[in-house]
A and B are shown apart, each in its own frame.
Chain A
Amino acid sequence: MEQKLIVDGKRLDGRALDQLRPIEARAGVLKNANGSAYFRIGKTIAVAGIFGPREVHPKHMEEAETAILRCKYNMASFSTTERNRPGPSRRSKEISKVMREALMPVLFLENFPKSAIDLHVEILQADASTRCAAINAASIALADAGIPMKDLIASCSVGIVEGHIVLDVAGKEDTEGDVDLPIAYYPKRDLITLLQMDGMVTKEQLKQLLELAKKGAMKIYEIQRQALKSKYMEE
């Protein structure tokens, strides 16, 4: 028999429909990186490291008037229940690309002409919304590296499960739900810098979904800020 994903307005993990999973965020976790961050949301764990601005290699990628941002998203082979083949895949390339595009609007790359900023995100444990966790970790790491930026980017996912609009899709909801819609949000300008979706929604539903996603992103935004502050506040 199929298990119901939502019973009496509660989800499989006991959350309300508009509740995020427990979040933990820390800045400055890698010693050798210029900036780094750890971001955990429920069972999804992402670690981001920033290297640079540094010299560009290979030289032909260099831009005379601006820095280039190179993103690399990678899922550890042990991050899922079934071991996944290590190395680049179509999926990881896509996520690297959309991640870069989600972060670009806030960065002042023109401050570092002829240089490269390398961003590496490793997913240590995956339980849905890994690209959101990756973007959140990346955003904290960029600020931690002292790279000038206009704002932090916060990201979270929303979805439709058994006809209900839910915040922060997790686990079974991702694989068996009807809609999964991750967004990245630029709070200061009220811009959405990443929007992907699978499934079908009506215009009305999409409006509601985005409304909820922005609310969730703002909560994450606060947590990101707190993570950066606590690095310097504690003795």
Chain B
Amino acid sequence: MILLNSREIIGGLNMAERELVIPGDLLGEGIAGSGTYMENGKIYASVLGLAERKDKLIFVIPLNGIYSPKTGDGVIGKIEDVAFSHWIVNINSPYFGVLPLNEAVTDFVDLTKTDLTKYFNYDDIIFAKISNVTKTKSVQLTMKDRKCRKLYGGRLIKITPAKVPRVIGKGGSMVEMIKKYTGCQIVVGQNGIVWIKGEKEDLAIEAIQCIEEKSHTTGLTDKIKEMLENEEGGNNGTKANS
């Protein structure tokens, strides 16, 4: 079933598409992308993952790992602390995010009179964008984006951040499909936190966990579609019987 070693030779180069590699594996010559390192002009894998090649660029998609903040990422975070003019946000990473007041609220706020918890309180869940990450890994957040908002209710699940692209799918196809079948609202943060709200939360969670488990296999969209369809059919069946 799994086609990890599908020996498809690309551009006459002796490297399989999507090959499972282990740190230290030789990947050939070219430009070293993420998940690789260069030594003596040759590229080696630095993480456990699936090696891919695009023209000269060689990179490895990791199969596991923590979230490392990147500028432009949309993340789901929890308000950890409220300071005088900013919030400290836990973004499921070794580094916390800082959300300054002027990046969160558009109207004028008199700091001497206002309690900032009226905007975001402790333990509130927000979807924010990372506006800047410095070299020393201090992370700046912003709410100045169409998608950014406070998330009310619902449920949060954690997935491996390396598998987020799988859950989203090509151009959001996977998450759109789950939304369609379950009727849930789903927000996926790049940091591996997924927010789900709706009647069929359980089914949506099951589907997402299934994606996480089988993320390295091929034909994933079809498998999940089948799973969702079966589940729906099963539920309808029981309703008809009762």
Contacts and interface: CB of A to CB of B under 8 A. Distances in A.
B4 interface: yes
A126 interface: no
B24 A55 contact: no
Contacts of B95: 55, 114-115
B68 A148 contact: no
A111 B137 CA distance: 10
B52 to A, nearest CB: 15
A147 interface: yes
Interface of B (DSSP majority class):
loop
B65 A145 contact: yes
A37 B144 CA distance: 43
A86 interface: no
B216 interface: yes
Interface in A151-194: 151-152, 187-188
A54 B23 contact: no
A152 B66 contact: no
A148 B23 contact: yes
B137 A146 contact: no
Interface stretch (B42-50, B124-132, B148-156, B172-180): B42-50
Nearest to A148: B46
A143 B39 CA distance: 19
A210 interface: no
A52 B94 CA distance: 8
A150 B22 CA distance: 10
A228 B22 contact: yes
Interface string B42-62: 001011110000000000001
Contacts of B49: 146
Contacts of A207: none
Contact of A55 (B23, B94, B216): B94
Contacts of B4: 232-233
Interface residues on B, range: 20 to 34
A232 B63 contact: yes
Contacts of A106: 23
Interface residues on A, range: 20 to 34
B93 to A, nearest CB: 9
Interface string A202-235: 0000000000000000000000010011001101
Contact of B47 (A54, A148, A225, A229): A148
A49 interface: no
B23 A111 contact: no
B149 to A, nearest CB: 27
B137 A143 contact: no
Contact of A150 (B37, B62, B136): B37
A31 to B, nearest CB: 13
A104 to B, nearest CB: 15
B107 to A, nearest CB: 34
A150 B68 contact: no
22 contacts: A53-B94, A54-B66, A112-B68, A112-B94, A113-B135, A113-B136, A114-B94, A115-B95, A116-B94, A143-B23, A146-B49, A146-B64, A147-B47, A148-B46, A149-B46, A149-B47, A152-B22, A152-B24, A187-B24, A228-B22, A232-B63, A235-B1
10 smallest CB-CB distances across A and B, nearest first, come from A146-B65, A151-B24, A146-B64, A115-B94, A148-B46, A149-B23, A146-B62, A53-B94, A143-B48, A54-B94
